[in-house]
Amino acid sequence: MSSNRVLTFFLAVALFCLALAASTGVLLRFGLLYGMPAWALNYAAVRHAHSHLMYFGWVTLALMALIWEALARATGRPLPRMAGWQLAATALAALLSFPAFWQNGYGLTPIGAARLPLGAMVSTLNGLTWFWFVALYVRATRQFSPRSLPVQLWDWAIVLLLLASLGAAGLVGMVLTGIDNAFLQQIFLHQFLDLFAVGWFSLAVLGLVWENVAQRADLPRWLPSMSLALLLGPTFVLGVSPALLPPHLFWLAAAANAGAACLLAVHLVLYVRCVIGDSGHLWRLEWLGWAALGLVILMAFALLIPGVWDANASGPLRVFYLHDFLLGFVSTVLIVLIGVRSRSWSGWRLTALLWGGGVTAMLLALLAFGLAGSLPVPPLAMLHLAAWASVPVAVAAMLLFWRLSSTLIAPKRL
C-alpha cells in the first residue's frame, strides 16, 4: 500500500472517531434535557468517553498523519518504516479509550473478580504511542538545518505534548499510591487535558496551516514558536477550581495566557495577510475556524477583568470556551486541511454547510446560555438549540468519514 493510501486510511479512522464522538455529543446534549438512556446512565463517564475519543482518536491521530505527510513532502522520501505501525497503535489505543471510559470514567470498573482503573490504564497506553511518535519524529527531523517555521512549531508542540503527559503520569501515580489531594488531582488533570489541547493541538495545527501556505507562497520572516510555547505552558492552571488555586498562581497563568493570545493574534493576522488574495484557498468554512480562534484570543483578555474567572472557571462559559476552541477552531481547521489534501472539496459543500451551520448555532447557544444571567434569553431554549445544533455536526462528521473512506475503495473517483 502506498504512503498516500496509508495516511488516507488513518485520516479516515480519525474521521470515524470524530463521527462517533460527535454522535455521543448528541446523546449528551439531549441527555441533559430528557435524561440519559438506561445503557448510558453515568453521564460523567460518557462525557469522559466523548472527550477522550475527540482528543486521542480524532485530533491527535489526524495531526500525526498530516505531520507525517508534510514531512514526507518536505524530504521527498517515503514515510519512516515504522510510522504506519505507530499510527496503527495510536488508532487502536484511541478506539479502546471509548469503551474503557464509558462505564466509570476514571473510576474502577469490575472485570471478573478484579476492579480496574480502565480509564487510567488506557490513557497510559495512549501515552506510550505518543512517545513512539515523538521518537520517530526526532529521528526523521534531526538533520533538518535550518528548521523551517512549520517544523519549529511542531517541535514545540511535541515539547508541550510531553509536558502534558507528565500530568497523566501524575494522575496514574495518585491512583496507584492512594493519594487523596484535591489540589494535586486538579493540577495533574488540567496539566494533562488542558496543556494537551491548548499546547499540542494549537502549535501542531498552526504548523500544518503554515506548511500548507508554504506550498504556494513565501512564509513571513518570523513567527512566534518558542515564545508562544513558553507562554502557553502555565495556562493549564486556569482550569483548576478557583476554590483551590492561590491568587498569585492565577494571575501568573492569566498574564501568560494574555501574552500567548497576543502571539496567536500575530499568527492570525499574518496568515490572513498571506492568503487574503487567494480566493481558491480561503473556504468559507475556514473563516469559521479563524473566527473561533479570534474569540479564544478575546476571552484571554476577558480573564484579566477581576471576578470574571472566579465566576466562570467551571460554569457554562467554560463549556462554551472548550467547544469554541476544540470544535470551532481546531476541528474546523483540520477538516479544511483534509479537504484541501483530498482535492475534492467541491463535492463536500453540503458537508461544509452542515458542519459550519451546526457549529455556529451550537456556539451561539452555549454562549447565550452562559450569559443567561445577563441577557434576556431563556436558558432552556438555548439548551434545546445546542442539542439540535449538535445533530448536523454529527451528520457532517459521518459524511466526512464516508467521503474519505470511499476514496480508499474507489480511488479513481478523486
Is residue 216 predicted with pLDDT exceeding 50? yes
Q: What is the torsional sign of CA 331, 334, 339, 342?
A: negative
Q: What is the pLDDT of residues 287-312, one digit of tens each?
A: 899 999 999 999 999 999 988 888 88
Confidence of residue 343 (pLDDT cuts 50, 70, 90): low
Q: What is the pLDDT of residues 373-392, one digit of tens each?
A: 777 889 999 999 999 999 99
pLDDT for residue 413: 46
Q: What is the pLDDT of residues 162-183, one digit of tens each?
A: 999 888 888 778 877 888 888 9
pLDDT for residue 62: 97
Query: Distance between CA atoms of 67 and 90, rounded to whole angstroms?
Result: 14
Spatial contact of 129 and 82, defined as CB atoms under 8 Å apart? no
Query: Distance between CA atoms of 63 and 84, rounded to whole angstroms?
Result: 14
pLDDT exceeding 90 applies to what percent of the chain? 62
Confidence of residue 16 (pLDDT cuts 50, 70, 90): very high
Mean pLDDT (whole number) for 337-342:
84
